[in-house]
Structure 1
Amino acid sequence: MNRRRSAILSAIFMGLGQLYNRQYIKGVLLLLTGAAAFGYFIPRLVHDLWGIWTLGDAPSKMVKVGKVYQTVKGDHSIFLMINGLITVLILALFITIYIMNIRDAYRTGAARDQGGKAAAFRESISYVWDRKFPHLLLTIPGLGVLFLTIMPIVFMILLSFTNYSLPQHIPPAKLVDWVGFNTFKDLLTLKSWSRTFFGVFTWTIIWAVLATATCYFGGLLVALLIEQKDVKFKKLWRTLFILPYAIPQLISLLVMRNLFNGQFGPINQYLSYFGFGKLPWLTDPTWAKATAILVNMWVGIPVSMVLILGVLTAIPKDLYEAADVDGASGYQKFRIVTMPFVLFATAPILITQFAGNINNFNLIFLLTNGEPLNGEYQYAGSTDLLVTWLYKLTLNNSQFNMASAIGIIIFIIIATFSIINYRRTKSFKEEDMIQ
């Protein structure tokens, strides 16, 4: 039967089934694709798979030739890992295309068995253009996501299972080895690392909760005050309160860092002038954490205010009128009408803000740089979050395997929290607030 023959031929080599079904242009294009793929894989597939499996067996070294030392190039473990990962992804794409080629040949053969004709190349193009146009457009960004997002994530995950770190295992002079879960074990059990991890992790969670709650409820309070009937010049108030968000965060945070400087900062100068003395805003661990939360409120409350203002203007007025008829107090109207509507519309954003605060690199890095220093921590300061600690481990101290393990833990925390809480929100379970 045509369906079986064409499928078997396409399984033997791409395009043969299409040629059998008399789809000559499509068959030739698939033959060329298969030939190009085999031309790519034959010289490098075994070597790249060997490289990602072994990470090399001969490091670069200096050899004396006469009176001169020359470098003998060896294996670079990280390059081998990257090349192997790229080859595996391209192989997965090729296998996908190969399977699609077999299915296409089988479907065309089945149509011929039923008395139909194989679609001409022009008809195939028209079908793809008319019926599969969204898939066609999504292919390019899909490939971008695969190689620019998924591949770096997989590369980071692989690094966490190696010993890629200073001083012993930095290519090309030294090779990198697979060590399994030893990196995670050291992070959680080795005293020098575990003390830092649990300390930074605890502060990260406290920071995320306080930063999210203060900004959200602060924005809610400001929005409610602006929307009061007795408040005049509402547009002016909205404009004033949105200014901190309109100014680039880099500028705001650097200005705040100077304002809270313990020695020459204007805030301490004013406090000293009025006899209150100077406060260790950024030099004492507790004060530095409180200052970070305070500054985060300054840059974060306007965002929540704008979002909640939009929700408040969308609440039906007849609900408040019905509440007035029933004799509800202002607090009761807020609890029964306002707050449920606000939470329904902003719960997903609230979850997103919490996840963003866990990774709030800009504020901590620009305001405190993780300082003040903590003698009990490994490469971290008292105000460092997991993400800023990861940055220091990577760029300043070349502890790449440990930084990758921390990155995986951050992802697990954020993904788990976001998925569980988002699925529990009413905005996910219900499509409409009023039913």
Structure 2
Amino acid sequence: MATNEKQKTLVNPQHQPTVAALLSIIPGLGQLYNKRFVKGASLFILFAAFAIVMFNFISSGLVGLVTLGEIPREHDSRVFLSEGILSLIFLAFFLTIYYLNIMDAYKDAKRIQLGWTVPNIREGFKNAWDTSFPYILISPGLFLLIFVVVFPLLFMVFLAFTNYSLYNAPPRHLLSWVGFENFIRLFSIQEWRTAFVNVLSWTLIWTFVATSLQIALALFLAIIVNDKRIKFKKLIRTVFILPWAVPAFVTIIIFSALFNDNFGAINLQIIEPLFNTRIPWLQNAFWTKVALIMIQVWLGFPFVFALFTGVLQSISSDWYEAADIDGANRWQKFKNITFPHVMFATAPLLIMQYSFNFNNFNIIYLFNQGGPAVRGQTAGGTDILISWIYGLTFDNQQYNMAAAISIILGLMVATFAFFQFRRTRSFKEEGNF
């Protein structure tokens, strides 16, 4: 009974969506079946032109991606790898449009079944333009994203599964696929495992301590400056934001001179007169880490201070007046009013601060190039993962190991950011606040 009622609603039951979809296996035929003649002819010509022009490139690229070359000194495996990745991108693009072509024919046939009238050429162009206009606007950015971001990332990911190193560099040698061997080496060989554990542990300590201190200092200063008893607030805020106005690399280079063991002002003018000794800021890994954390707190707190200052000014004074009437002390007002509001408004940006410091290459490299050196290891005493990857790539030419570590680094940052953003209250519905 229900089937009969459904069939009565079909104005044109002889027109079958399944037939249109099957005909669209050859692009354009399904549209011709739906009497979309201009659209069908255009799709057939576009797909045919793409297949004729790109078939040889895609097929040879995919073969080269498997073999990575066959003749040493003549074939460059890096070129084969690049062409193979481009072939995968073009093939993915082709398959996506091919799938959309089938779905378009199926949906049009479904609408024709229900009585939809096929528009004329003018209406068809107008409808197509209205539908595709947003995609036309974003297409330049999408293509730029694919070839500037996605392509290099895929190249790096593929390198992690090859044997590309200083002693096996093309075109003199051909690369070969080694599977997960690089990841196994990272955790099974003593030298690599020790270096990875040391660098990862320092990266986590660096990220948590430096970022938390800069946030705590910024919140402390913002609360003090926001106090009604403080005068010259504009001047104080301007002074606190000045470190943010100076380019970071300039500040880091200045601090590297100030912390110099031999002629730095911190040793000569402060430490030695007071304690009759000199601290080996650049020669001892522990003191280098202390200096790096202090510098990062100096560089990072102005931005967070500006955020907190704006949020504190937006909190209604009625909340604090109600708390005073209830007899709340300063700590209770901070715990129940100030801190929740500040965190709710700035939590996503604070998470970005942790992610930024996790990959903060500039300060590590410019201050002491990740040193001091550690005997028997490819990583310096203050290298974090990103600076270690840089050293492996440009100093040691261990491209395969650098790519493997980069994948692990990317997964760690993405996982942390994803779960933290999901837990952030500012991303939930207002009713859950």
1:51–1:80 contact (8 Å) kept in structure 2: yes
Deviation of 1:278 after TM superposition, in Å, equals 2.5
1:11 maps to amino acid: I
| TM-score when normalising by structure 2 | 0.91
| TM-score when normalising by structure 1 | 0.91
2:58–2:90 contact (8 Å) kept in structure 1: no
Q: Distance in 1 between matches of 2:114 and 2:290?
A: 76
Q: Distance in 2 between matches of 1:317 and 1:429?
A: 26
2:253 maps to amino acid: L
The equivalent of 2:364 in structure 1 is 364
The equivalent of 1:394 in structure 2 is 393
Deviation of 1:42 after TM superposition, in Å, equals 2.7
Q: Evaluate the alpha carbon distance shift between residue 161 and residue 315 of structure 1 in structure 2; reply closer, same or farther with a 3 A threshold.
A: same
**Which has the higher mean CA deviation after the structures are superposed, 119-128 or 222-231?**
119-128
Task: Tell me the secondary structure at the aligned position of residue 337 of structure 1.
Answer: helix
1:45 maps to amino acid: I
1:96 maps to amino acid: T
1:180 aligned to 2:179? yes
1:351 aligned to 2:364? no
The equivalent of 1:230 in structure 2 is 229
Matched ranges for 1:181-220 at <5 A = 181-220=180-219
1:256–1:367 contact (8 Å) kept in structure 2: yes
Q: Evaluate the alpha carbon distance shift between residue 321 and residue 176 of structure 1 in structure 2; reply closer, same or farther with a 3 A threshold.
A: same
Matched ranges for 1:241-256 at <5 A = 241-256=240-255
Q: Distance in 2 between matches of 1:343 and 1:262?
A: 40
Matched ranges for 1:57-206 at <5 A = 57-60=70-73, 73=74, 75-167=75-167, 169-206=168-205
Q: Evaluate the alpha carbon distance shift between residue 432 and residue 256 of structure 1 in structure 2; reply closer, same or farther with a 3 A threshold.
A: farther
1:49 aligned to 2:69? no
1:195–1:376 contact (8 Å) kept in structure 2: no
Deviation of 1:275 after TM superposition, in Å, equals 6.3
CA offset digits 1:258-285 (Å, max 9, x no partner): 1111112222221345663332122211
1:393–1:402 contact (8 Å) kept in structure 2: yes
Deviation of 1:239 after TM superposition, in Å, equals 0.2
1:200–1:385 contact (8 Å) kept in structure 2: yes
Deviation of 1:111 after TM superposition, in Å, equals 4.1
Out of 28, 34, 39, the residue aligned to residue 26 of structure 1 is 39
1:313 aligned to 2:313? yes
Deviation of 1:195 after TM superposition, in Å, equals 1.0
Deviation of 1:184 after TM superposition, in Å, equals 0.5
Q: Distance in 1 between matches of 2:425 and 2:326?
A: 26
Deviation of 1:57 after TM superposition, in Å, equals 1.9
1:418 maps to amino acid: A
Q: Distance in 2 between matches of 1:275 and 1:116?
A: 89
Q: Evaluate the alpha carbon distance shift between residue 118 and residue 339 of structure 1 in structure 2; reply closer, same or farther with a 3 A threshold.
A: same
Q: Distance in 2 between matches of 1:21 and 1:37?
A: 23
CA offset digits 1:11-51 (Å, max 9, x no partner): 12x22333444434323322221122111333233321111
The equivalent of 1:9 in structure 2 is 23
**Which has the higher mean CA deviation after the structures are superposed, 45-54 or 140-149?**
140-149
Q: Distance in 2 between matches of 1:132 and 1:324?
A: 59
Q: Distance in 2 between matches of 1:111 and 1:294?
A: 66
Task: Tell me the secondary structure at the aligned position of residue 40 of structure 1.
Answer: helix
1:26–1:121 contact (8 Å) kept in structure 2: no
**Which has the higher mean CA deviation after the structures are superposed, 307-316 or 28-37?**
28-37
Deviation of 1:286 after TM superposition, in Å, equals 0.7
Deviation of 1:148 after TM superposition, in Å, equals 2.2
The equivalent of 2:427 in structure 1 is 428
Q: Which runs of 5+ in 2 are unaligned?
A: 1-13
Q: Distance in 2 between matches of 1:334 and 1:109?
A: 63
CA offset digits 1:172-211 (Å, max 9, x no partner): 1101111111100111110111111111111000000101
- The percentage of aligned residue pairs carrying the same residue is 41
1:162–1:401 contact (8 Å) kept in structure 2: yes
From the two aligned structures, give the one with the greater helix fraction: 2
Aligned length: 418
1:7–1:17 contact (8 Å) kept in structure 2: yes
Task: Tell me the secondary structure at the aligned position of residue 44 of structure 1.
Answer: helix
Q: Evaluate the alpha carbon distance shift between residue 51 and residue 284 of structure 1 in structure 2; reply closer, same or farther with a 3 A threshold.
A: same
Q: Distance in 1 between matches of 2:302 and 2:431?
A: 27
Deviation of 1:115 after TM superposition, in Å, equals 4.8
1:214–1:297 contact (8 Å) kept in structure 2: yes
The equivalent of 2:404 in structure 1 is 405
Q: Evaluate the alpha carbon distance shift between residue 113 and residue 413 of structure 1 in structure 2; reply closer, same or farther with a 3 A threshold.
A: closer
1:370–1:382 contact (8 Å) kept in structure 2: yes
**Which has the higher mean CA deviation after the structures are superposed, 19-28 or 182-191?**
19-28
**Which has the higher mean CA deviation after the structures are superposed, 312-321 or 108-117?**
108-117
CA offset digits 1:135-184 (Å, max 9, x no partner): 332233223223322222222111111111111x2111101111111100
The equivalent of 2:3 in structure 1 is none
